Amino acid sequence: MSLVPTQTRAEGPAAAMLRRWDDQQAAYISRREERFAIMLDVVEATVPADGLVLDLACGPGSISARVAQRFPRMRCLGVDYDPALLALARDWAAEGGHDDRVHFADVDLFDPSWLSVLQGEAPHAVLSSTALHWLPGAVLARLYSDLGGILEQESVFLNADHLRAPTGRELFTTLAAADDERTQAAAHAGGVDTWDAWFDALADDPEYATALAERESRFADRPRNPDLSLGFHVEALRVAGFREAGPIWQHFDDYVVLARR
């Protein structure tokens, strides 16, 4: 059974691909919907009903879709550097009639000028899922500083991700790896896409051919970042001006980190 939010109308091709994306991602993250649920609970508790949520490194819009479903007046801006996933996100928003309050923008977080996409408006919450581990430590620290500089008091930041920096705790590492293996084996045995299979399916649609080619070009020379620890994230957020920061949810080496400006 899929755990993707129920659609409010007949599912079109973009919504179907987003659903397949979510199922594919859940194969690598055993309690992905729990992560989203705690993030949206924090949004409900801290963001005005008509507030603005920034979906950071949004991919095809998994967070934006859940915000749109749960909060019918809330606005969402998703930013990403992957043109193929952005194309799918925009198609999903248009197809489902969400493009009046959910928008997506092509943004490179390596570029210090990325904040211009906000056009001077500060979001009430910034959310990210399974994405910021792609950023080198120096870029991530600068990104947190960027957010600390533009968010107003009481605004929140939430990051859900695997934080797999070596800890020296052998049993912890073994248990986390075994959980990953069980989750992937069960999902793939049930016919859920692997990462590569999902992109192959997207490539079958000629509408995304140009965006996929651009994707290959953009990420060809991007360095893979060494895994960063929970402590790195928490300390970088505090240095960036967040008054409090720490994990609000954990499952083995999978965390949701919450910070309050």
Interval 114-126 mean pLDDT:
97
pLDDT for 227 equals 87
pLDDT digits over 160-176, tens only?
999 988 888 999 999 99
Q: What CA–CA distance (Å, rounded) separates 237 from 234?
A: 5
Res 186 pLDDT > 70 = yes
- Contacts of residues 218-225 at CB distance under 8 Å and 24 or more positions apart, as own/partner, are 218/81, 218/82, 218/83, 219/82, 222/134, 223/136, 224/134, 225/133, 225/134, 225/135, 225/136, 225/137, 225/140
How do 102-106 and 125-129 pair as beta strands?
unpaired
Distance CA 252, CA 255 (A): 8
Secondary structure of residue 58 in the 3-state scheme: coil
Mean pLDDT, residues 85-114 taken together: 97
- Supply 10's token pair: 């007949």
Model confidence band, residue 1 (pLDDT cutoffs 50, 70, 90):
very low
DSSP bridge partners of 79: 56, 105
Q: What percent of the chain is modeled with pLDDT above 90?
A: 91
- pLDDT tens-place string over residues 188-204: 999 999 999 999 999 99
* pTM of the entire predicted model: 0.93
For 177-225, the DSSP string reads HHHHHHHHHHHHHTTPPPHHHHHHHHHTSGGGHHHHHHHHHHHTTPPPP
Residue located via tokens 């960063």: 228
Quote the pLDDT of residue 194. Answer: 98
**Mean pLDDT across 113-141:** 96
Residue 120, pLDDT > 90, answer: yes
Sheet with 156-162, strands from edge to edge, namely 102-106, 75-80, 52-56, 125-129, 156-162, 254-260, 244-251
For tokens 């300390």, what's the residue? Answer: 235
Who wins on pLDDT, 111 or 8? Answer: 111
pLDDT digits (tens, 9 = 90+) for 213-252: 999 999 998 887 778 999 999 999 999 999 999 999 999 9
Q: What is the pLDDT of residue 9?
A: 53
Domains recognised in the chain with CATH numbers: 13-260 (3.40.50.150)
d(CA 93, CA 248): 30
* CA–CA dist 180, 100 (Å, integer): 38
CB 9, CB 165: distance < 8 Å: no
- Distance, in Å, from the CA atom of 55 to the CA atom of 126, rounded to the nearest integer, reads 6
